[in-house]
Amino acid sequence: MRMSIGLSVMTRYDTCRNVQEHEGVWMLAAQRRAHLLDLLARQGKIVAKDVAADLGISEDSVRRDLRDLAAEGLCQRVYGGALPVSPAVADYAARKTVTPAGKQKVAAAAAALVRPGSALILDGGTTALAVAHALPPDLDCTVITHSPTVAASLLEHPQAEVFLLGGRIFKHSAVACGAAAVEAAQNISADLCLLGVTGVHPDAGLTTGDAEEAAMKRTLAARAADTYILASSEKIGTASRFRVLPWEDISGLITDADPHHAVVEWLTARGVEVLAAG
């Protein structure tokens, strides 16, 4: 009987000790994740091997933490580390509520680039929709778009002629993508292309969250004499999974971000034209 009681006490002791050890490890992992998020906010990227060396832990531990953060939508994993994740990966309805004032500023600056009598390729998404609304009612132009929502918003425009490119609708951004849409786009040409992205980052470049949408954006940009990127401030310094275009393939970037933002200064220093919105 005494032996049974002794074993029972020892079992409870071991269980409590294991729980305490487990909770200690959990707290350490939570602290590491908080440290990683702080690095993202301060430095704009995480290099796994550097973090591992600084904290005296294995790179595998850092990569596991980054996987957990990525699964929660808190970072974008890339080779060797992670970058800040773009808030623009939310669904179309949710994105309408993200920095609407900033998008309107970007839209107004973008609309000012459209010349009378010109042909404009207008991308889909919430910022592009704001551009459609910002086109002056007396502007005589042709708007080519693969976005049904953008096309519909221009039905009441007195002067704009609208061409809608068809294909499979990617509901996340309310745009046509896929082979049929790419083929249709290859048979058009325009003076200007206004293109949306979800992320603008020095390392990742211009990115979006879907491979087919990225391919469609490249096709549209290739059909215009000039391509400007629409990027409201929340997209600056963030990244998504798929690259859209290299910096040398764009004419400039339109943003309402602070001109002294580190990414904006980086772009300006490398010769990218940055048009300040608002």
With a cut of 70, list the residues of the chain below it in pLDDT.
1-27, 88-99
Whole-number pLDDT of residue 89: 63
- Is the Cβ–Cβ distance between 192 and 121 less than 8 Å? yes
Q: What pLDDT score was predicted for residue 91?
A: 57
Q: What is the pLDDT of residue 132?
A: 97
> What is the model's pLDDT at position 221?
98
Strands ordered across the beta sheet of 142-145: 161-164, 142-145, 119-122, 190-196, 224-230, 252-255, 274-276
Tens-place pLDDT, residues 180-235:
999 999 999 999 999 999 999 998 999 999 999 999 999 999 999 999 999 999 99
The pLDDT value recorded for residue 60 is 87
| Farthest-apart Cα atoms in the chain, separation | 98
The pair of three-digit structure tokens given for residue 272, joined into one six-digit string:
């990218």
pLDDT value of residue 49: 87
